[in-house]
């Protein structure tokens, strides 16, 4: 090739941006230029380094396993053996070598392989389910049966009371007070005094009596909500024997106040009457109109 041809070839390569003028010829990074005929024309192209080709046929095969993974492989055990977990832990102990303490060895040991999986994962005994105590469930069932029996003694109409005062035994009275305490656990004692003041204002002769409708409306105005059977049951206990079906609202409020102050222990007769008398004195402003002969039967 003549000098003119060499200059023309070099100019073509530079114009095609196949190499730079400052290209360091003679070293490893020098590009390789090869002539090729494309479309009947001779052109010069830059050939990439074969070491950096990304052809699919040149990709490496599957990577070999690491030495650690080869050590942990359990080829001698079936895949679903009961000792699979224990064997893995033994391999961990071997890998850790002399640095393993006895405490760590106990932590990685799986115990008896013949034990059920639940016992191996959680060696503690399960706690009994909440509310499964036979004594607690028996008391609740007995209380519900007693209340249903008392509700059955009421007239089968809403807002109707019995024609005569209901007489409750000591056990029945205690259950009714417990039910009142459960339904009115949010109630403040001052609300009862407001109810007493409203009913006393409408009671011109201060007889301490009112109708069940008036008592119910006074409760609603002061945000005191009782279930219908329980409200009728309490009102039926304190029906006036002289003016039925009027209710002695003083005793009703005193009974509710004593129920709110009922303790967690069994209710004795003396503590009940004392709490009732204190509540009645608070409602009456300390006049002490509740006398000993008016105690509940």
b/e map 184-207, b = 16+ CB within 10 Å: beebeeebbbebbebbbeeeeeee
CA–CA distance, 33 with 10 (Å, rounded to integer) = 11
Segment 142-161 shows an average pLDDT of 87
How much is the CA Rg of the chain, to the nearest whole Å? 48
Give the H or E element holding residue 92: helix 84-96
Is the pLDDT at 181 greater than 70, yes or no? yes
Among the residue ranges 70-84, 177-191, 198-212, the one predicted with the least confidence is 70-84
C-alpha angle 252/253/259, rounded to 5°?
90
Higher pLDDT pick, 241 / 107: 241
Residue 69 clears pLDDT 70, i.e. is over it: no
Rounded Cα distance between 111 and 32, Å, is: 68
The model's confidence at residue 196, banded by pLDDT at 50, 70 and 90, is: very high
d(CA 63, CA 180) in angstroms, rounded, equals 77
pTM above 0.75, yes or no: no
Place 90 in a pLDDT band, splitting at 50, 70 and 90.
low
Q: Which residues contact 213 (CB under 8 A, 6 or more apart)?
A: 159
CA angle (111, 93, 121) in 5-degree steps:
30
Structure tokens at 248: 């002695």
* Closest of 292, 192, 186 to residue 252, by C-alpha: 192
Of 131-140, 156-165, 282-291, the range with the highest mean pLDDT is 156-165
Rounded Cα–Cα distance for residues 218 and 197 (Å): 10
Burial of 210 (0-12, 13-18, 19+ CB in 10 A): buried
Instruction: Report how far Cα 63 is from the mean position of its chain's Cα atoms.
Output: 49
In terms of residues, how long is the chain? 297
| Alpha-carbon distance values, 43 to 11, 53, 74, 88 (Å) | 12, 22, 61, 64
Q: Please name the residues in contact with 166: beta carbons below 8 A apart, sequence gap of 6 or more.
A: 150, 153, 233, 236, 237, 239
Beta bridge partners of 44: 35
Look at residue 296 and tell me whether its pLDDT is greater than 60: no
**Domain extents for the chain?**
3-49, 140-294
Q: Is 77 exposed, middle or buried (0-12, 13-18, 19+ CB in 10 A)?
A: middle
> 247, 175 in Cβ contact below 8 A?
no
For the segment 241-245, the average pLDDT, to the nearest whole number, is 87
CA distance linking residue 297 with residue 169, whole number of Å: 8
pLDDT at position 216 over 90: yes
């Amino acid at each position: 090739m003549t000098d003119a041809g060499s200059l023309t070839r070099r100019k073509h390569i530079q114009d095609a941006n196949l190499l730079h003028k400052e290209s360091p010829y003679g070293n490893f990074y020098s590009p390789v230029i090869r002539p090729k005929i494309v479309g009947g024309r001779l052109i010069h192209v830059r050939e990439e380094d074969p070491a950096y080709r990304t052809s699919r046929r040149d990709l490496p095969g599957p990577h070999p396993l690491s030495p650690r993974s080869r050590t942990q492989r359990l080829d001698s055990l079936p895949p679903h053996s009961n000792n699979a977990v224990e064997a893995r832990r033994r391999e961990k102990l071997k890998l850790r070598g002399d640095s393993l303490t006895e405490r760590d060895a106990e932590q990685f040991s799986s115990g008896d392989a013949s034990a059920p999986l639940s016992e191996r994962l959680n060696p503690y005994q399960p706690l009994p389910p909440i509310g499964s105590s036979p004594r607690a469930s028996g008391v609740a069932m007995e209380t519900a049966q007693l209340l249903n029996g008392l509700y059955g003694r009421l007239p089968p109409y809403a807002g109707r009371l019995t024609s005569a005062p209901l007489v409750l035994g000591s056990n029945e009275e205690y259950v009714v007070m417990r039910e009142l305490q459960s339904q009115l656990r949010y109630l403040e004692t001052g609300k009862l005094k407001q109810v007493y003041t409203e009913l006393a204002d409408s009671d011109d002769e201060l007889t301490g009596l009112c109708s069940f409708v008036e008592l119910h409306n006074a409760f609603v105005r002061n945000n005191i909500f009782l279930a219908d059977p329980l409200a009728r049951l309490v009102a039926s206990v304190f029906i006036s024997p002289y003016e039925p079906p009027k209710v002695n609202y003083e005793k009703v409020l005193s009974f509710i106040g004593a129920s709110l102050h009922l303790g967690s222990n069994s209710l004795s007769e003396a503590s009940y009457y004392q709490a009732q008398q204190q509540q009645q004195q608070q409602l009456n402003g300390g006049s002490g109109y509740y006398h000993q002969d008016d105690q509940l039967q």
